[in-house]
Amino acid sequence: MPPGLLVVGDVVTDVVARHARPLAADTDTAARIAVRPGGAGANVACWAAGRGARVRLLARAGADSADWHRAALEAAGVEPVLRVDDEAPTAVVIALVDAAAERTLVTDSGAAFRLGPADWDAALLDGMGHVHLSGYLYFSEWGRELAAVVTEAARARSLPVSVDPASAGFLREAGVARFLADVAGTDLLLPNDAEAALLSGAPEPARAAAELSAARGGGTVVVTLGAGGALAAVNGEVTVRVPCVPAVAVDTTGAGDAFTGGLLAARLAGADLAASLAAGCRTGAEAVTVVGGRPET
């Protein structure tokens, strides 16, 4: 059996509201509204499973909807390890998607921010070949502690660890220096262009990737560029650039998660860095054609 992917992160109930006109104050704005299972970590897991990877997910959900989320993950081919929270509800994100398919997120982190070291079991690493940490872990004290425990356990087994910074807004609140210190022991950093600029202080994506790679001791940094595709830096130099795959976008929610899932599945299958980026771009292009952050099942 090929090695699998362990994702440690979040499950979220997404409320996706697609509105063709700008939001109007003090009145109604017509929209098409759908409720979908989501969450950055869970989305990555589902897209990777959809690309043939064997995937296990550790996350925390409220008792209010844990069964629904577990069933959705299983239907997507993911092995869910959900810790059920009897005190906090499942996280909820309202995604406001405009006519250009760009989204604005309003977040209630709920049970997701209560995932911590007490939820960890080293046996979760059995049979795994890669560990991916959702950046949302680093925005709560329990999450940071868990991320450190998982990273240490993975390194003890010589397993590579990747991190997606997840949110430029939350990064600003948590502190860039603290985040970079927290992820120093990981192998692969996967920011989008806004996150890369914030983390490096360099507004141009290629320079940001190169500087982040150099600052991380030469480690791999992959920066997603939306319609511009993606690029990667290794040993302080940009070594790969991959164009986007054209697609007619209806909802960009979870496109970055899809890129990560596609890339990690390709890496587990033995693809090199360029081929892995290309796989990520293909998966991201598929993601923008569906409503919500998961593949259609």
Phi, psi (5° rounding) for residue 103? -120, 150
Strand 12-18 with 91-97, pairing: parallel
Nearest to 142 by CA among 167, 109, 186, 175: 109
Nearest to 161 by CA among 117, 130, 125, 122: 130
Q: Assign residue 192 the CATH number of its domain.
A: 3.40.1190.20
Phi, psi (5° rounding) for residue 177? -60, -40
The burial of 202, by beta-carbon neighbours within 10 Å (0-12 exposed, 13-18 middle, 19 or more buried), is given as: middle
Neighbours of 21 (CB within 10 A): 10
What is the C-alpha to C-alpha distance for residues 10 and 249, in angstroms, rounded to an integer?
25
Q: Which residues contact 238 (CB under 8 A, 6 or more apart)?
A: 206, 209, 210, 231, 232
Helix, strand and coil in the chain, % to nearest 5: 40, 25, 35
Place of tokens 């990064």: 171
- What integer pLDDT is reported at residue 230 of this predicted model? 97
What is the C-alpha to C-alpha distance for residues 142 and 126, in angstroms, rounded to an integer?
23
Note whether residue 19 is domain-resident.
no
pTM: 0.94
Q: What range defines the domain where residue 183 resides?
A: 4-10+40-60+116-287
**Residue 99 reports pLDDT greater than 90:** no
* Residues 286 and 247 sit within 8 Å (Cβ to Cβ): yes
- What integer pLDDT is reported at residue 214 of this predicted model? 96
Task: Tell how far CA 256 is from the center of its chain.
Answer: 7
Could you give the number of structural domains in the chain? 1
Note whether residue 295 is domain-resident.
no
Note whether residue 211 is domain-resident.
yes
pLDDT digits (tens, 9 = 90+) for 189-224: 999 999 999 999 999 999 999 999 999 999 999 999
Note whether residue 269 is domain-resident.
yes
Note whether residue 16 is domain-resident.
no
pLDDT digits (tens, 9 = 90+) for 125-175: 999 999 999 999 999 999 999 999 999 999 999 999 999 998 888 899 889
Note whether residue 145 is domain-resident.
yes
**Residue 21 reports pLDDT greater than 80:** yes
- What integer pLDDT is reported at residue 102 of this predicted model? 79
- Beta bridge mates, 220: 188
Note whether residue 297 is domain-resident.
no
In the three-class reduction of DSSP (H, G, I as helix; E, B as strand; rest coil), residue 124 is classed as helix
What is the C-alpha to C-alpha distance for residues 192 and 179, in angstroms, rounded to an integer?
15
Token pair, residue 18, equals 């697609």
In the three-class reduction of DSSP (H, G, I as helix; E, B as strand; rest coil), residue 275 is classed as helix
